[in-house]
Amino acid sequence: MASPGFSAPGGVAVVGSGLIGRSWAMLFASAGFRVKLFDIEPRQVTDALVSLRKEMKMLELSGYLKGQLGAEEQLSLISGCSDLQEAVEGALHVQECVPENLELKRKLFAQLDKIANDHVVLSSSSSCLLPSKLFAGLAHVKQCLVAHPVNPPYYVPLVELVPHPETAPATVDRTYALMRRVGQSPVRLLREVDGFALNRLQYAVIAEAWRLVEEGVVSPGDLDLVMSDGLGLRYAFIGPLETMHLNAEGMLSYCDRYSEGMKRVLKTFGPVPEFSGATAEKVHQAMCVKVPDDAEHLAARRAWRDGCLMRLAQLKRQLPQ
C-alpha cells in the first residue's frame, strides 16, 4: 500500500488547473504521488483545490474514491503552486493541461524546456495537436510526448500515448508504466497521426451518423439509440476487432463471410459532411428536446453521464477481463 508522501522518486507537476488538470491531479494523488498544481491564473488553483476537496470527499462517501488512501490523505498530497519552476522542480513527470491552442502550448513547452532536467517526462494532454508541431525544436524533445486522456479521465481510463518522431522509447515506456500505476489504460500510437486513434474512430462514427440523419434514413434520436442501446453496450467491453473475431469462428472466418458485404456498404458512404445548415438545425432541435441547451440542463445531464460512467467503471473492475 502506498503511504502518504510516496513519490518514487519525485512528484508530478500538473500545469493548468482546469477540467483536465484537476482530474489528473486526483488520479496521481490516488496512487500516492505528490502533485503540484500550477496555473497562470492563481485563482484557478485556489478554486481547483476547493473543488477537488468537495469532489474527493463526495467520492469517498459514495465509495467511488480511487486508490488505497483516504480522501484526506490524498488531498494532503496535492498542493497549489504559483511559480512554474517551483512546480516542476524535482518532478518525475509534468502533465500539461492548458487550453488547446498550439501557440500557447508551444510557448509553455519552450519555458518547460529551459527549466527541465534531463530526466523529467514532459507530457501534453492535447486532444489533437501533433507532437511534431508541439515539441519541434525543443532541446528535451526526447523526453516529450502527448498523453491524451478521455473526458472524464477519472472514470474513463484510456490514455493515448503519442510520440514525437524523436521521442525516446524510454519516455513512452516510463509514461506507460506511470499511467498503469495510476489506474489508467494507456495505448501506444507507434507514430503520430492527425486525430490520434480515438478521434479518428469517433469522427468516423459521427460522420456516418450525420449522413444517415441528413439523408433522412433515421431520426437523430433513433440514431443515438443505435449506439447507446446497441453497439455501445458491446464496445464498453470489447473493441471492433475482437467483435469481428467473436462474431464468426475467428477473424479469418469473419473476413471470409462478411468482407464482401462490408466493402459493398462502405463504398456507399458519402463525402465528409459540412456539419452546418438545415441538418445542424434539425439535429440541434432534436437534442434540445431531450436536453435543453441552457447551462443548468447541460450540467445536470453531464453529471448524470459521469455518474453512469462511474458505475460502469466500477462494474468493469469487478467483472473478469
149 binds ligand NAI, rule: CB under 6 A: yes
From candidates 97, 130, 172, 178, binder to ligand NAI by CB under 6 A: 97
Contact 55, 187 (CB under 8 A): no
Separation CA 82–CA 136 (nearest Å): 27
Stretch that binds ligand NAI, among 67-75, 97-105, 219-227, 296-304 (CB under 6 A): 97-105
- C-beta closer to ligand NAI: residue 40 or 218: 40
What binding mask, one character per residue, do residues 110-139 give for ligand NAI by CB under 6 A, x or -?
A: ---------------xxx------------
- C-beta closer to ligand NAI: residue 1 or 103: 103
From candidates 11, 21, 80, 186, binder to ligand NAI by CB under 6 A: 21
Stretch that binds ligand NAI, among 50-58, 147-155, 198-206, 216-224 (CB under 6 A): 147-155
Shortest reach from residue 4's CB to ligand NAI, in Å: 26
16 binds ligand NAI, rule: CB under 6 A: yes
Shortest reach from residue 250's CB to ligand NAI, in Å: 35
Cell digits of residue 303: 453529471
Helix, strand or coil, per DSSP, at residue 170: helix
Grid look-up 459521469 returns 306
Assess whether the previous peptide bond of 292 is cis (omega < 30° from 0).
Answer: no
Stretch that binds ligand NAI, among 39-47, 65-73, 229-237, 271-279 (CB under 6 A): 39-47
- C-beta closer to ligand NAI: residue 194 or 263: 194
What binding mask, one character per residue, do residues 165-184 give for ligand NAI by CB under 6 A, x or -?
A: --------------------
Long-range contacts (CB closer than 8 Å, 24 or more residues apart) made by 96-99: 96/15, 96/16, 96/122, 96/123, 96/124, 96/125, 96/126, 97/14, 97/15, 97/16, 97/17, 97/18, 97/20, 97/21, 97/24, 97/125, 98/15, 98/16, 98/40, 99/16, 99/18
* Opening angle at CA 146, ends 130 and 22, nearest 5: 125
Separation CA 107–CA 105 (nearest Å): 5
What binding mask, one character per residue, do residues 219-238 give for ligand NAI by CB under 6 A, x or -?
A: --------------------
From candidates 2, 12, 20, 78, binder to ligand NAI by CB under 6 A: 20
Grid look-up 500538473 returns 14
Binding site for ligand NAI (CB under 6 A): 15-21, 38-41, 44, 97-100, 104, 108, 125-127, 148-149, 151
